[in-house]
Structure 1
């Protein structure tokens, strides 16, 4: 069956081909009644007509294509919802998202951006696996760009990152609200923005509750399960151990569970635990299920795509280049009152 043409749509709708072109290509400044517009759209849908994207790009100088350049997000199920959020926003606006995973290799990143520019993408979402400050590839200087889960070193480009400080404040506030006054923090030893932000939220929550900050209740290790185990062992073997531990992420919380079991601490009867990230394969699978703070991956991806589309469409927005995305608390079963 031959592909339907614009004159077929015009014949079915009872209008001229010029009117069909105006409606289907959203040409500005031409008046078409709502009834006629709907009749044309219905005819195009009935016939299965779609405009030629190459011809449209030559006319509008836009390809309606967005590049999504990431380090390892595409191969990491935990952060994949960033892609989903961006893709759904782009698709609803009539844009195609082209995803490229670079493995974090700087040379590959530069080459990838140059290749996307050769294909005349309208903009680029540049995303990283975890909240960090980055030096943006030089090739991005010539295309509209929004950073996702990253801050530029010069602070100039639009970007969205999780509100680490408020998320930690919420997590520790949950423990304080349950009655805990001696709260440990198992944190990441690397100097990354998430670690400093979550430490700031931890100390602020204690201060707001009138609880003195004790450096000995902060144990820094590598932010994985073995690191969480080592940090929790150090905290739980103190002469006066904490009754609750806030963990930098869910992987460290999993290590904390193991340390607690080895030392005879039942969760949450003897020890309450709160994590961070809400990883699907960890937080709800632990026993008891882990109360944690969710990283808003989907919401960050959607925000970044909307911001990029505004830049592409030249829609002015009066706001700071950086946006902090709230991190909600997910209550499960790992928090209870302190033991008597």
Structure 2
């Protein structure tokens, strides 16, 4: 005779398997009505459901599983290093990561929280592919950790890249090389937290160097190679005395487009134009010709930090996100400005 499964109880009671799991594990609490809990127990008794003895034993001890809910880091190679960092930290402390990608859909996030709660994971990490301010998913347990995002409301441990200091570091690479006509190729206005923070860092360094910001040198474009090419062409079409000698690009894909725009005009990098990117994106930054100087997003380090906090191996201030340093990766795309324009 086939063993009765939890899914059979769910079908008999007309509820989800996650709801059955929560009721039969005693985790329903106030989140599930008394009527629904009674219906689930009656259905389980009626069809002869007997919980697995291993599962029953886990109710009284830690499961050694950590739930990780993300929008799309599992399907995005660029951000996959966050998962690697989280996995390594969990494995070193004898835990397994249970990953659920939701594509940022609030309904799927609620279902993921419910399912992971039903599995009685020891803790949860909530991650986004890029630096964002977000609302906590409904039902997310107190003390859960936010990874590459920070909550709009409430007190939660969180880790994000230090994008403002990353903008400082990128621009200082260019002022240290002698540049004074430095452009910032920015993301479209609105919605991208990192855009404003990197721009703040850029402006801080200009002020430190006594360089008056020129609005014509702050241009926006789509954050891909086509957007970077169009933005760079706009800058390189400026009159010679206003044209930049260096570009700080919002990300490496925009920098790749800037390379193409420079070459269409016969400009050499870095002899005629220096370029700094951001992200240190795999298969782009190191593969450009010449290889791109860029600022690395600390995906792996952020993943480790979040998991160590979730495991209780590291403390964190729930009222202030931890800002992870973004190091400069120096390659060959930065040099001094052309001699004829060095003093302008």
Could you state the TM-score of these two structures normalised by the residue count of structure 2? 0.79
Partner of 2:108: 108
Residue 318 of structure 1 deviates from its aligned partner by: 5.9
Q: Tell me: CA distance 1:114–1:318, structure 2 relative to 1, closer, same or farther (3 Å).
A: closer
Give yes or no for contact 2:126–2:146 (8 Å, CA) kept in 1: yes
- Aligned-CA RMSD value: 1.7
Whole-angstrom distance in 1 between the partners of 2:188 and 2:58: 49
Give yes or no for contact 1:122–1:144 (8 Å, CA) kept in 2: no
Give yes or no for contact 1:288–1:333 (8 Å, CA) kept in 2: yes
What SS does structure 1 have at the residue aligned with 2:333? coil
User: Any gaps of 5 or more consecutive residues in structure 2?
Assistant: 1-52, 340-344
Whole-angstrom distance in 1 between the partners of 2:64 and 2:54: 8
Q: Tell me: CA distance 1:53–1:262, structure 2 relative to 1, closer, same or farther (3 Å).
A: farther
Partner of 1:197: 197
Partner of 2:133: 133
Residue 319 of structure 1 deviates from its aligned partner by: 7.0
Q: List structure 1 runs of 4+ shifted beyond 4 angstroms.
A: 52-56, 315-320
Whole-angstrom distance in 2 between the partners of 1:206 and 1:196: 15
Given candidates 230, 235, 251, the residue that maps to 2:253 is 251
Given candidates 267, 288, 291, the residue that maps to 2:293 is 291
Residue 320 of structure 1 deviates from its aligned partner by: 4.5
Residue 309 of structure 1 deviates from its aligned partner by: 1.1
Give yes or no for contact 1:190–1:222 (8 Å, CA) kept in 2: no
Q: Tell me: CA distance 1:106–1:319, structure 2 relative to 1, closer, same or farther (3 Å).
A: closer
User: Any gaps of 5 or more consecutive residues in structure 1?
Assistant: 1-51
Which residues in structure 2 correspond to 1:315-330 (within 5 Å)? 320-330=319-329
Partner of 2:334: 335
Q: Tell me: CA distance 1:175–1:123, structure 2 relative to 1, closer, same or farther (3 Å).
A: same
Matched, 1:147 2:146: yes
Which residues in structure 2 correspond to 1:117-132 (within 5 Å)? 117-132=117-132
Give a deviation string over 1:144-170, Cα, whole Å, max 9, x none. Answer: 310100011115211100000001100
Q: Tell me: CA distance 1:53–1:238, structure 2 relative to 1, closer, same or farther (3 Å).
A: farther
Could you state the TM-score of these two structures normalised by the residue count of structure 1? 0.80
Residue 231 of structure 1 deviates from its aligned partner by: 0.7
Whole-angstrom distance in 2 between the partners of 1:125 and 1:308: 7
Say how many residue pairs are matched: 284
Whole-angstrom distance in 1 between the partners of 2:177 and 2:251: 20
Matched, 1:91 2:91: yes
Give a deviation string over 1:176-214, Cα, whole Å, max 9, x none. Answer: 000101101101014211000000000001011111111
Which residues in structure 2 correspond to 1:134-213 (within 5 Å)? 134-140=134-140, 142-191=141-190, 192-213=192-213
